Amino acid sequence: MIVMTRRSGGPLRVDTIDAKKGFRFAVPTTGHAMIARGVCTSAGVLDADAILHAVDHSAMWPADR
């Protein structure tokens, strides 16, 4: 489990187990952008199936879904 910071500044808890099992896990680096894809649980945790590095320039990011 890791905690990422949303664009809005709030925390997002991310379960990384499935991403690591599927070898779709890039090690997060403090201060750099990440992409986390998956499904949010009823507890508000993102059950990620992929966690990747992203471009650090926010103007290039697609909209949140």
| 40 DSSP β-pair partners | 46
CA distance 43 to 56: 29
Q: Are 39 and 47 a contacting pair, CB within 8 Å?
A: yes
Q: Is the pTM of this model over 0.85?
A: no
Describe the strand order of the beta sheet including 11-15 as a list of residue ranges. 2-5, 11-15, 46-53, 34-40
pLDDT digits (tens, 9 = 90+) for 3-20: 999 888 899 999 999 999
User: Exposed, middle or buried by CB within 10 Å (0-12, 13-18, 19+), for 38?
Assistant: middle
Confidence of residue 50 (pLDDT cuts 50, 70, 90): very high
